[in-house]
Amino acid sequence: MKNTQIHIIHLPHRRDRLSQVLKELDIQRVENYVFWEGFIDLEKPSRGIAKAHQQIITWAADLGLPDVLIAEDDIQFTAQGALEYFLANEPPDYDLYLGGISYGRIKDDNSVEDFAGTHLYKIKQRFFETFLTLSGEKDIDRDLARKGIFIVCNPMVAVQRNGYSDNKHEYRDNNLYFSKRNLWRGERAPTVPSPAKRKGQSS
Protein backbone atom coordinates (compact mmCIF):
# COMPACT_ATOMS: atom_id res chain seq x y z
CA MET A 1 0.00 0.00 0.00
CA LYS A 2 3.00 2.30 -0.31
CA ASN A 3 1.83 4.04 -3.47
CA THR A 4 -1.72 4.77 -2.30
CA GLN A 5 -2.04 8.09 -0.48
CA ILE A 6 -5.05 8.53 1.74
CA HIS A 7 -6.09 11.93 3.09
CA ILE A 8 -7.71 11.83 6.52
CA ILE A 9 -9.79 14.57 8.13
CA HIS A 10 -9.15 14.88 11.85
CA LEU A 11 -10.14 17.28 14.62
CA PRO A 12 -7.11 17.72 16.95
CA HIS A 13 -9.17 17.51 20.15
CA ARG A 14 -10.38 14.03 19.20
CA ARG A 15 -7.30 12.19 20.46
CA ASP A 16 -9.41 9.07 20.86
CA ARG A 17 -10.05 8.99 17.14
CA LEU A 18 -6.42 9.66 16.27
CA SER A 19 -5.19 6.57 18.10
CA GLN A 20 -7.98 4.48 16.58
CA VAL A 21 -7.41 5.58 13.00
CA LEU A 22 -3.66 5.05 13.31
CA LYS A 23 -4.38 1.45 14.34
CA GLU A 24 -6.69 1.07 11.35
CA LEU A 25 -3.99 2.33 8.99
CA ASP A 26 -1.46 -0.05 10.50
CA ILE A 27 -3.80 -3.02 10.06
CA GLN A 28 -4.36 -2.03 6.42
CA ARG A 29 -0.59 -1.59 5.98
CA VAL A 30 -1.02 1.98 4.80
CA GLU A 31 2.23 3.92 4.89
CA ASN A 32 1.33 6.90 2.73
CA TYR A 33 -1.21 9.07 4.54
CA VAL A 34 -1.78 12.74 5.30
CA PHE A 35 -3.84 14.23 8.13
CA TRP A 36 -5.84 17.39 7.46
CA GLU A 37 -7.19 19.46 10.33
CA GLY A 38 -10.97 19.67 10.34
CA PHE A 39 -13.05 22.78 10.94
CA ILE A 40 -15.55 23.44 13.71
CA ASP A 41 -18.60 25.56 12.97
CA LEU A 42 -20.58 25.82 16.20
CA GLU A 43 -23.56 27.40 14.49
CA LYS A 44 -23.74 24.91 11.62
CA PRO A 45 -21.52 21.81 12.02
CA SER A 46 -22.25 20.68 8.46
CA ARG A 47 -20.48 23.79 7.16
CA GLY A 48 -17.31 22.83 9.02
CA ILE A 49 -17.47 19.30 7.62
CA ALA A 50 -17.97 20.58 4.08
CA LYS A 51 -15.02 22.94 4.45
CA ALA A 52 -12.82 20.12 5.75
CA HIS A 53 -13.51 17.93 2.72
CA GLN A 54 -13.30 20.81 0.28
CA GLN A 55 -9.83 21.88 1.42
CA ILE A 56 -8.48 18.50 0.26
CA ILE A 57 -10.34 18.62 -3.05
CA THR A 58 -9.13 22.18 -3.67
CA TRP A 59 -5.56 21.01 -3.05
CA ALA A 60 -6.04 18.10 -5.48
CA ALA A 61 -7.57 20.41 -8.08
CA ASP A 62 -4.70 22.90 -7.80
CA LEU A 63 -2.23 20.07 -8.44
CA GLY A 64 -4.26 18.74 -11.35
CA LEU A 65 -4.64 15.30 -9.75
CA PRO A 66 -6.94 12.85 -11.57
CA ASP A 67 -8.54 11.76 -8.29
CA VAL A 68 -8.03 11.77 -4.54
CA LEU A 69 -8.80 9.29 -1.76
CA ILE A 70 -10.40 10.79 1.35
CA ALA A 71 -11.38 9.37 4.74
CA GLU A 72 -12.74 10.65 8.04
CA ASP A 73 -11.11 9.80 11.34
CA ASP A 74 -14.03 7.68 12.55
CA ILE A 75 -13.43 5.13 9.80
CA GLN A 76 -13.38 1.46 10.73
CA PHE A 77 -12.38 -1.07 8.09
CA THR A 78 -14.32 -4.33 8.04
CA ALA A 79 -11.29 -6.65 7.86
CA GLN A 80 -7.57 -6.73 7.21
CA GLY A 81 -7.02 -6.12 3.51
CA ALA A 82 -10.26 -4.13 3.13
CA LEU A 83 -8.61 -1.07 1.62
CA GLU A 84 -6.71 -3.24 -0.84
CA TYR A 85 -10.00 -4.87 -1.83
CA PHE A 86 -11.60 -1.44 -2.27
CA LEU A 87 -8.85 -0.26 -4.59
CA ALA A 88 -8.69 -3.53 -6.53
CA ASN A 89 -12.40 -3.25 -7.32
CA GLU A 90 -12.42 0.40 -8.40
CA PRO A 91 -15.08 0.77 -11.11
CA PRO A 92 -14.19 2.20 -14.53
CA ASP A 93 -16.75 5.02 -14.48
CA TYR A 94 -17.81 7.05 -11.44
CA ASP A 95 -17.76 10.47 -9.80
CA LEU A 96 -17.61 9.15 -6.24
CA TYR A 97 -16.53 5.61 -5.32
CA LEU A 98 -17.78 4.93 -1.79
CA GLY A 99 -16.29 2.50 0.70
CA GLY A 100 -19.56 2.13 2.58
CA ILE A 101 -22.84 3.91 3.22
CA SER A 102 -25.21 3.93 6.19
CA TYR A 103 -28.18 5.08 4.14
CA GLY A 104 -29.20 4.67 0.51
CA ARG A 105 -30.75 2.10 -1.82
CA ILE A 106 -28.04 0.36 -3.79
CA LYS A 107 -29.07 -0.69 -7.28
CA ASP A 108 -28.05 -3.88 -9.06
CA ASP A 109 -25.12 -2.07 -10.68
CA ASN A 110 -23.92 -0.90 -7.21
CA SER A 111 -24.91 2.68 -7.94
CA VAL A 112 -26.83 4.87 -5.52
CA GLU A 113 -28.54 8.20 -6.10
CA ASP A 114 -28.92 9.41 -2.52
CA PHE A 115 -26.70 8.24 0.32
CA ALA A 116 -25.18 8.94 3.72
CA GLY A 117 -21.54 8.16 4.41
CA THR A 118 -18.37 10.01 3.42
CA HIS A 119 -16.02 8.18 5.80
CA LEU A 120 -14.18 6.66 2.80
CA TYR A 121 -14.44 7.67 -0.83
CA LYS A 122 -12.47 8.34 -3.96
CA ILE A 123 -13.47 11.35 -6.03
CA LYS A 124 -12.68 11.91 -9.70
CA GLN A 125 -11.28 15.17 -11.03
CA ARG A 126 -14.35 15.72 -13.22
CA PHE A 127 -16.45 15.95 -10.04
CA PHE A 128 -14.21 18.31 -8.06
CA GLU A 129 -16.06 21.44 -9.15
CA THR A 130 -19.48 20.04 -8.26
CA PHE A 131 -18.27 19.05 -4.79
CA LEU A 132 -16.70 22.45 -4.24
CA THR A 133 -20.02 24.21 -4.92
CA LEU A 134 -21.64 22.62 -1.85
CA SER A 135 -22.55 25.29 0.70
CA GLY A 136 -22.55 23.06 3.76
CA GLU A 137 -26.04 24.19 4.73
CA LYS A 138 -26.94 20.49 4.54
CA ASP A 139 -24.81 17.44 5.26
CA ILE A 140 -22.55 17.09 2.23
CA ASP A 141 -23.56 13.52 1.42
CA ARG A 142 -27.25 14.38 1.42
CA ASP A 143 -26.60 17.58 -0.54
CA LEU A 144 -24.92 15.49 -3.26
CA ALA A 145 -28.10 13.52 -3.97
CA ARG A 146 -28.60 12.88 -7.71
CA LYS A 147 -25.72 15.17 -8.69
CA GLY A 148 -23.34 12.51 -9.97
CA ILE A 149 -22.46 8.88 -10.58
CA PHE A 150 -22.02 7.28 -7.16
CA ILE A 151 -20.81 3.68 -6.95
CA VAL A 152 -20.67 1.74 -3.68
CA CYS A 153 -18.06 -0.93 -3.11
CA ASN A 154 -20.10 -4.10 -2.70
CA PRO A 155 -19.47 -5.68 -0.29
CA MET A 156 -18.69 -2.58 1.73
CA VAL A 157 -15.22 -2.27 3.21
CA ALA A 158 -15.65 0.52 5.76
CA VAL A 159 -18.14 1.61 8.41
CA GLN A 160 -18.20 4.46 10.91
CA ARG A 161 -16.95 3.71 14.39
CA ASN A 162 -19.39 4.05 17.27
CA GLY A 163 -18.83 7.06 19.50
CA TYR A 164 -19.56 10.71 20.10
CA SER A 165 -20.43 12.66 16.95
CA ASP A 166 -19.15 16.24 16.76
CA ASN A 167 -21.68 16.78 13.98
CA LYS A 168 -24.78 15.52 15.82
CA HIS A 169 -23.51 16.35 19.34
CA GLU A 170 -24.50 12.92 20.64
CA TYR A 171 -23.30 9.35 20.98
CA ARG A 172 -23.93 7.40 17.77
CA ASP A 173 -24.39 3.64 17.59
CA ASN A 174 -23.54 3.16 13.93
CA ASN A 175 -24.17 -0.58 14.15
CA LEU A 176 -27.83 0.33 13.76
CA TYR A 177 -27.09 1.54 10.22
CA PHE A 178 -24.46 -0.92 9.05
CA SER A 179 -25.52 -4.22 10.64
CA LYS A 180 -27.85 -5.14 7.77
CA ARG A 181 -25.40 -4.11 5.04
CA ASN A 182 -23.28 -6.48 2.99
CA LEU A 183 -19.84 -6.09 4.58
CA TRP A 184 -16.53 -7.46 3.32
CA ARG A 185 -15.14 -9.88 5.88
CA GLY A 186 -11.80 -10.89 4.47
CA GLU A 187 -12.36 -12.69 1.21
CA ARG A 188 -9.35 -12.56 -1.03
CA ALA A 189 -9.16 -9.51 -3.29
CA PRO A 190 -9.52 -10.45 -6.97
CA THR A 191 -6.41 -10.40 -9.10
CA VAL A 192 -6.22 -9.16 -12.66
CA PRO A 193 -5.50 -12.17 -14.90
CA SER A 194 -2.44 -12.08 -17.11
CA PRO A 195 -3.12 -11.64 -20.83
CA ALA A 196 -3.37 -14.95 -22.68
CA LYS A 197 -0.26 -15.75 -24.64
CA ARG A 198 -0.61 -15.92 -28.39
CA LYS A 199 0.16 -19.14 -30.12
CA GLY A 200 3.90 -19.48 -30.61
CA GLN A 201 4.77 -16.71 -28.12
CA SER A 202 7.75 -17.61 -25.95
CA SER A 203 7.87 -17.16 -22.21
pLDDT of 173: 74
Lowest mean pLDDT among 76-85, 88-97, 179-188: 179-188
Residue 198 domain-assigned?
A: no
pLDDT of residue 167: 61
Domain containing 124 equals 6-178
d(Cα 192, Cα 173) in Å, to the nearest integer?
Answer: 38
In a domain, 75, yes or no: yes
Whether residue 196 lies inside any domain: the answer is: no
> Which pTM was predicted?
0.87
Please state, in angstroms and rounded to a whole number, the distance separating the CA atoms of residues 82 and 187.
9
Q: Render 89-153 in DSSP notation, one character per residue.
A: T--SS-SEEES--SB----TTSEESS-B--SEEEEEGGGHHHHHT--SSS-HHHHTTTSS-EEE-
How far are the Cα atoms of 63, 171, 199 from residue 77, in angstroms, in the given order?
A: 29, 20, 44
**Residue 109 within any structural domain of the chain:** yes
Q: Give the pLDDT mean for 9-18.
A: 91
pLDDT (mean) for 46-56 = 96
Residue 116 in this model has a pLDDT that exceeds 50: yes
193 within domain boundaries: no
Assigned domain for 186 exists: no
User: From CA 6, how far away is CA 15, in angstroms rounded?
Assistant: 19
Q: If pLDDT is split at 50, 70 and 90, which confidence band does 174 have?
A: confident
SS3 77: strand
CA distance 190 to 197: 21
Domain contains 161: yes
- Start-to-end CA distance of the chain, whole Å, equals 29
Q: Which CATH number is 160's domain given?
A: 3.90.550.10
Count of domains for the chain: 1
The predicted model gives 83-109 an average pLDDT of 97
Q: How confident is the model at residue 171 (pLDDT cuts 50, 70, 90)?
A: low
Within a domain: residue 197? no
Q: What's phi and psi for 116, nearest 5 deg? A: -130, 130
